[in-house]
Structure 1
Amino acid sequence: MSAATRPVYGAPCWVSLATPELESTQEFYSAVLGWTFRPDSLGEQFSVAMSGGSPVAGLGAVTSSLGMAVAWTPYFFVTSADTVAARIGERSATVAVGPVELGNGRACLASDPAGANFGFWEGDVRPGWRSGDHDAPAQLDLRTRDAFASAIFYAEVFEWASGRPDRCDVEYEHGAVIVRAAGRTVATLRGGAVESAPDPRIRPRWHVCFRVEDVGAAVAAAEAAGGTVTEPPTDTPFGYAAGLRDPDGGLFTVAATQPSHADATNKPQQTTT
């Protein structure tokens, strides 16, 4: 994460995919989301996904070297990775990797008490990437068993709801915990997932959502490129959206930038019983 903007402390500052092989993964996301890629300063096993000239996400072929599962992971901005790592350990959660030096900063991977994985970053972040902007490339949604318990954990770790103007605010709306930074919604925490269920769609996890012009076209492209549909296109809190899995197992969501004729005509009909 390079260059010199500083987001709100505790706010999302990046999303990254850990994958086993870079070239094939780039080909898949290029076909589905129209991304282009450029090398990353972190090394030859890393790349930066670009959309419309702006950075969208990071890809790293690190699952073998770091023993990580294939997964999309959100990163939150902090000023001291050591301090946050200590807070996590004090709250019966796990720091799995780090803090480790990466480029011009330090990164950690962790999991919350419910088992949802996340990361945090100490250092400069990429300009032009802000979760929650109208044209943001990603939205973040934590689906977990107890949204309030998770909100308390993250608030204590990342200093949410501290009342400081340079920290994130937290509100409860429509059955979900909403996290805002400088008035922008940057993350949502929703309860109800079953921790022990075998279905990975409902295990506690952070879901990363990318905007597309046509959800149906993205679904078709994913299937043609070897991906699978985990959640058929339907109305969701993100809007009209679908859940997808890439060929290596990485789960992500695509949601319409705005209702399109194709998406509207492909929506499932509502039925009553």
Structure 2
Amino acid sequence: MNTNPSAAAEPAVTSSGAVFGAPCWVSLLTRDLRASQDFYASVLGWSFRPARLGEEFSVAVSEGRPVAGIGALAGRLQVAVAWTPYFAVENADQTASRIRERSGTVAVGPVALSLGRGALAADREGAVFGIWEGRLMSSWETWRAANPAWLRLVTRDAFEAAIFYGEVFDWACGRPGCCDVEYEGDEVVLRSGGHVAARLSSGALEAAPDPAIRPRWQVHFPVRDVDACVAAALRNGGTVTEHAPGRQAALRDPDGGLFTVTNRAAAV
């Protein structure tokens, strides 16, 4: 019996199994949590609250809504500082096996955390992503609809990548909760619950010396003023790798994490 008088007022919890294959979160693995918080607060105006995953994690909040996670685990896990998208899965072990069977790699996990199980992986071209089995944030439906962060996979061949991810995550399988896949010219568009969840584009160079143009998942944050974000990033030790004034900029934080800011009017 539920004896918590406030339980009825809490929003329903969404499980990863209910929306399998959908991007469900983005997170930065960094070395210094406080330094990263200071940088993103200055550049993107975020505030932070503790996460239930432990003191080394925090949740970035913008306009009262959760946007992303930042965890100071890059050194412990011996992985590069990077923004990483996570995809909801029904079973982390089975998904990890699918990734390996299709020539991808699983670098970390699956590991058990307080709210579920997660893993870090890479596709056949080396683009890094995460998988998550368990409960999602209670405001996940709001997060998906608000789209505070959106994803673009830049890879060697978008259609081959769509086959890899489709087989791993059961995209377009027809079951309730699955993601839909559409083709728009030379792009693959992923939709979850009718919302654009990600785009897959061709053109990356697998052997490029610059990690910014190697195959990777780009994490885009819609902002009101791209140029103001660029200026703030430079003032706070960041660098600019690409800048289309007023429209979009690819930035690198002082710890090396790559991310993109995009004018809200042009997002998705």
Matches within 5 A, 1:204-215: 204-215=215-226
Contact 1:55 1:129 in 2 (8 A): no
1:29 to 30, 40, 43: 40
Contact 2:180 2:191 in 1 (8 A): yes
Question: Deviation digits for residues 107-137 of structure 1, max 9, x if unmatched?
Answer: 0100000000000100011133459956321
Matches within 5 A, 1:214-229: 214-229=225-240
Tell me, yes or no, if structure 1 residue 137 matches structure 2 residue 148: yes
Matches within 5 A, 1:1-273: 4-6=13-15, 8-129=19-140, 135-234=146-245, 240-258=247-265
Question: Deviation digits for residues 230-265 of structure 1, max 9, x if unmatched?
Answer: 111258xxxx21100000000000011137xxxxxx
Contact 1:131 1:137 in 2 (8 A): no
Contact 1:130 1:136 in 2 (8 A): no
CA distance, structure 1, for counterparts of residue 113 and residue 144 of structure 2: 26
Greater CA deviation, 36-45 or 69-78?
36-45
Query: Structure 1 pair 212/184, CA: closer, same or farther in 2 (3 Å)?
Result: same
Query: Structure 1 pair 130/246, CA: closer, same or farther in 2 (3 Å)?
Result: farther
Contact 1:110 1:117 in 2 (8 A): yes
CA distance, structure 2, for counterparts of residue 64 and residue 40 of structure 1: 19
Question: Deviation digits for residues 155-191 of structure 1, max 9, x if unmatched?
Answer: 0000002122321111110310001112111011001
Q: Tell me the number of residue pairs that the alignment of Structure 1 and Structure 2 aligns.
A: 254
Deviation (angstroms), 1:16: 0.4
Query: Structure 1 pair 179/131, CA: closer, same or farther in 2 (3 Å)?
Result: farther
Contact 2:84 2:217 in 1 (8 A): yes
CA distance, structure 1, for counterparts of residue 150 and residue 59 of structure 2: 18
Three-state SS of the structure 1 residue aligned to 2:19 is coil
Question: Deviation digits for residues 29-79 of structure 1, max 9, x if unmatched?
Answer: 000000000111111111111111111111011011110100000000011
Q: TM-score, normalised by structure 2?
A: 0.90
Q: Which amino acid aligns with 2:52?
A: S
CA distance, structure 2, for counterparts of residue 255 and residue 131 of structure 1: 20
Q: TM-score, normalised by structure 1?
A: 0.89
CA distance, structure 2, for counterparts of residue 134 and residue 77 of structure 1: 16
Moved over 2 A (4+): 127-135
Greater CA deviation, 7-16 or 136-145?
7-16
Q: Name structure 2 gaps, 5 residues minimum.
A: 1-11
CA distance, structure 1, for counterparts of residue 224 and residue 138 of structure 2: 24
Name 2:6's counterpart in structure 1. Answer: none
Q: Which amino acid aligns with 1:209?
A: H
Q: Name structure 1 gaps, 5 residues minimum.
A: 260-273
Q: Which amino acid aligns with 1:61?
A: A
Q: Of Structure 1 and Structure 2, which has the larger fraction of its residues in helix?
A: 2
Deviation (angstroms), 1:4: 1.4
Contact 2:14 2:136 in 1 (8 A): yes
CA distance, structure 2, for counterparts of residue 21 and residue 64 of structure 1: 9
